[in-house]
Amino acid sequence: MTLSAALPTRFTVRFGLTHPVALAPMAGAAGGALAGAVARAGGLGLLGGGYGDADWIAAEWDRAGGAPIGIGFITWRLTPALLNAALVRGPVAVMLSFGDPAPFAPAIHAAGVPLICQCQTVDHARAALDAGAQVIVAQGAEAGGHGDRRGTMTLVPELADLLAAGTPNTLLLAAGGIADGRGLAASLMLGADGVLVGTRLWAAAEALVPPGFHAAAVAATGDVTVRSSAPDAARLLDWPAPFTIRTLRSAFTDRWGGHTAALRAPEGEAARADWAAAQAAGDASAGTPVAGEAVGLIHDIPPAAAILSRLSEQACALLSSLCSKYPGGVPAGDGGSAPSPPPPVKPEI
Ligand SMILES: Cc1cc2nc3c(=O)[nH]c(=O)nc-3n(C[C@H](O)[C@H](O)[C@H](O)COP(=O)(O)O)c2cc1C
């Protein structure tokens, strides 16, 4: 579905997209309606394969209505059978996050499907490159959901340099805190070929999110998110170190954030049940809406297509206004110095 690209980059060219934007494969939230809407709008729609519920994945894939979508998995929970069930659907890409991609990469390559690996550190990126990933996602700690400690602002250019030095054909997406055209434009300037967007598209009309959580996100500032392991303890999930999950701060994270052993213990059973009920009901105080610092930039719940258009249009306007401000380059003395040398150039942006 190649429409003319709104903001052409190597990512839009390679994947035939209109917008250099991928939907984060958010467990539970990125169902078929959202992934299909993103794909039809010209982004890369990735179904949230999450913890690997095969029936859920099959039903949601059908809900994408035949749109060309891919899927993302939480690697430490993935099985060969689940991966094969996805590969026979002909995904446009498979994304692996949170764990060693090496055991699964050969099957993905053999199917001719692009492999996207989400990385939180330079070591993760090296492992992803060893596994033959065609796309690396540099995920900073601002991100909603699971992640680690590196910030987007330094991780993206550091991984851009790593790729430029050794595997310049590998694409790079920035993730963590990107919710508008400013974040997209900044990511391209940091050396990314596009962005992977979670929280902003979690707050889309098609996302599988209870209305109460959406309302809490619209009301929240970016100050009120927190990283903890409390929601994982409440689900008795054994997430490996170093990953924690960023959610909105709530009475639940205040009470249990520092007491996850007690929450996992038999005496925590009632609290775990209360949390599960709050999650189902969309009660943001007793539950934990999964969202990142970008909530402070979210003021509405529009359709995904509108979010993608806004991202590209704002980024284009910002990038072209910079050029028109200084048509001949930054003059010496403006800002107190001569123009800086250009950054290392990649083959195409
Ligand atoms: C609600 C939610 C659920 C998420 N679930 C997953 C997941 O199942 N697998 C995954 O790889 N990443 C998951 N993430 C993280 C995203 O892949 C991505 O890194 C992150 O959303 C980017 O930061 P942002 O939220 O600021 O856009 C999730 C994020 C959110 C907000």
Residue nearest to atom 17 of ligand 1 (CA): 24
Same domain, 245 and 177: no
Label residue 331 by pLDDT band (50, 70, 90). Answer: low
The stretch 261-269 carries a mean pLDDT of 97
pLDDT tens string 45-72 = 999 999 989 999 999 999 999 999 999 9
Least confident range of 15-19, 81-85, 140-144, 330-334: 330-334
Ligand 1 center to 146 CA (angstroms):
7
The residue whose CA has the least distance to atom 1 of ligand 1 is 290
pLDDT tens, position by position, 125-178: 999 999 999 999 999 999 999 999 999 999 999 999 999 999 999 999 999 999
Say yes or no to pLDDT of 36 above 90: yes
Instruction: Identify whether residues 122 and 102 lie together within a single domain.
Output: yes
29 lines ligand 1 (CB under 6 A): yes
User: Tell me: the pLDDT tens digits for 89-119?
Assistant: 999 999 999 999 999 999 999 999 999 999 9
The whole-number pLDDT of residue 324 equals: 76
Give the CATH number of the domain where residue 37 resides.
3.20.20.70
CA distance linking residue 105 with residue 94, whole number of Å: 10
- How far is Cα 95 from Cα 87, in angstroms, rounded to an integer? 12
The pLDDT score that the predictor gives to residue 343 is 53
**Judgement on whether residues 225 and 133 belong to the same structural domain of the protein:** no
Is ligand 1 within 6 A of the CB of residue 209? no
Ligand 1 centre distance from Cα of residue 101 (Å): 18
pLDDT for the residue numbered 309: 97
Q: Within this chain, do residues 90 and 237 fall inside the same structural domain, yes or no?
A: no
Residue 148, pLDDT score = 98
Instruction: Tell me which residue range forms the domain holding 174.
Output: 10-208+302-318
Ligand 1 site, residue 57, Cβ cutoff 6 A: no
Angstrom distance (rounded) from CA 296 to CA 212: 17
Q: Which of 4-8, 87-91, 169-173, 325-329 has the lowest mean pLDDT?
A: 325-329
178 lines ligand 1 (CB under 6 A): yes
List the one residue out of 230, 237, 212, 222 whose CA is nearest residue 176. Answer: 222
175: which residues sit within 8 A by CB, 6+ positions away?
A: 24, 118, 137, 138, 139, 140, 143, 152, 195, 196, 197, 198
The chain-wide mean pLDDT, for the chain, equals: 93
Task: Give the pLDDT band (50/70/90) at residue 330.
Answer: low
**Which amino acid is it at 155?**
L
| 225, 283: one domain | yes
pTM exceeds 0.75 for this model:
yes
Q: Whose CA is nearest to atom 29 of ligand 1?
A: 145
Could you tell me the distance, in angstroms and rounded to a whole number, from the CA of residue 120 to the centre of ligand 1?
12
Kindly state whether residues 128 and 236 are assigned to the same domain: no
pLDDT of residue 261 exceeding 80: yes
What mean pLDDT is predicted for residues 246-275? 97
Closest atom of ligand 1 to CA, residue 176: 23
Q: Do 284 and 150 fall into the same domain?
A: no
Q: Which of 44, 120, 146, 293 to mutate to test the pocket of ligand 1 (most atoms within 8 A of CB)?
A: 146
- As beta bridge partners, residue 197 has 23
Quick one: which atom of ligand 1 is closest to the CA of 95? 11
Two tokens, residue 192 = 């990314």
Q: 313 in a domain, yes or no?
A: yes
SS3 273: helix
DSSP state of 246: E
The domain total for the chain is 2
Residue 199 Cβ inside 6 Å of ligand 1? The answer reads yes
45 pocket-lining for ligand 1 (C-beta < 6 Å): no
Question: Which residue's CA is minimally distant from atom 7 of ligand 1?
Answer: 26
Q: If you take atom 21 of ligand 1, which residue's CA is the nearest one?
A: 198
Please tell me the predicted confidence (pLDDT) of residue 6: 81
CB-CB contact of 75 with 28 (8 Å): no
Residue 22: both structure tokens together = 């991928």
- In a shared domain, residues 308 and 269: no
C-alpha of residue 230 to centroid of ligand 1, in Å: 17
Per-residue model confidence as pLDDT tens digits over 204-230 = 999 999 999 999 999 999 999 999 999
Confidence of residue 271 (pLDDT cuts 50, 70, 90): very high
Whether residue 104 is found in the same domain as residue 182: yes
pLDDT higher than threshold 80 for residue 195: yes
pLDDT band at 264 (very low <50, low <70, confident <90, very high): very high
- pLDDT tens, 282-323? 999 999 999 999 999 999 999 999 999 999 999 999 999 887
194 occurs within a structural domain = yes
187 and 311 in a single domain? The answer is: yes
